[in-house]
Structure formats: C-alpha cells, structure tokens
Copies of this chain bind each other. A is one copy, B any other.
C-alpha cells in the first residue's frame, strides 16, 4: 500500500524475477539490449559520470574465449545462454565529464584528476548501473544470471584493457522450464535497517 508502482511491475522486476541458469534457445536481440539501455541509462550516477561499459559476447569465437575463464560451475550456463554481457567500469570516465556535466566541466580536474579516486568512483557507480541494467533486463521480460565467479584478470586481458575493470558477467535470456528453484531467504528489515 505504501508503493505506487503497479503490483505487476513489482512482480516483474523484483518479486517474481529470479536469477536464472538455464535458458530457452530464443535469441536476445540488439533491439532488446538497446531498449534496456535506453531505459536504465537514466538511473543516477555521481556527477552523472556514466562509467558502465558493456561488451556483448555474440560470436562463437568470443564465447569460446570467455568460457574457459569462468569458474567451473558457471561454464555450462555461460556456454549456452542466448546472450552473455560483460559489464565493466571505465576508469577514464572523467574524459566524458565535460559532455555529461556541461554546467560543471571543471569537475573533471577538480575531483577526478587522480586515478585511484576515479577507480573507486567508477567501481561504485558502474555497480549502480549494473543493478539498473539487471532491472532493465527484467523490464524487457527477460531473466538475468549475474555472475562474479570468473577470472577477473584473464577477462580483463582478453576483452578489455588496463582502463576498464570487469565488474560482473551476466547471462541473459528466457528461463527454460527446468530453471525453477526455491527462492533463497533475505535478511529481515530489522536486521538491515536501524534508526538513529
């Protein structure tokens, strides 16, 4: 009753959405990914820095380069998901700030001249955008399977460069019939929220 978001949308994005490991063969199109991005790009980031970068692993050759770097338990699903996306943080995001923050272009040098500061800020804010992206995948009626079980250094070397840090890899598609498993518990409100 305290929420104004339609209950069906609540279910679609959170209550009934599940992390999925087994997918149907139905492809995920570039049009779907673009619609997802064009929705969730509006999610806020500090200084409007937009540090998230996305690599869509579409070719068989690229998939073959990725799968061996996944933890063993993640290899089969990464090999078979309709689409695999590598989400990364751009540690040189400040180069775009004059364009993204036109009323305060000096933020680039005033706040982000130092690389360690940029890395921290890019990591936090690209993680926010990764969450918006997962919500967006669900808004497209698809399921996401985000994974942190992979060789980060190897994936960075194979698909990115020294300026881009991998955050997570997300399998995307429609859940197959056998993809169901029991919902894990969550921490209760009183275990998470305190008032001062």
Contact = CB atoms under 8 A, between A and B. Distances in A.
Interface of A: 1-6, 8-10, 12-15, 17, 19, 29-44, 46, 48, 50, 52-59, 62, 96, 99-102, 121, 123-124, 127-132, 134-135, 138-141, 144, 146, 148, 159, 167-168, 183-187, 189, 191-196
A38 B6 CA distance: 15
Nearest to A52: B192
Given A195-B56, A196-B57, A134 B43 contact: yes
> Chain copies in the assembly?
2
Contacts of A135: 13, 43, 131-132, 135
A15 B33 contact: no
Given A3-B35, A131-B132, A189-B38, A196 B55 contact: yes
Contacts of A37: 189, 192-193
A99 B5 contact: no
A187 B32 CA distance: 18
A5 B139 contact: yes
A101 B10 contact: no
Nearest to A187: B50
A39 B57 contact: no
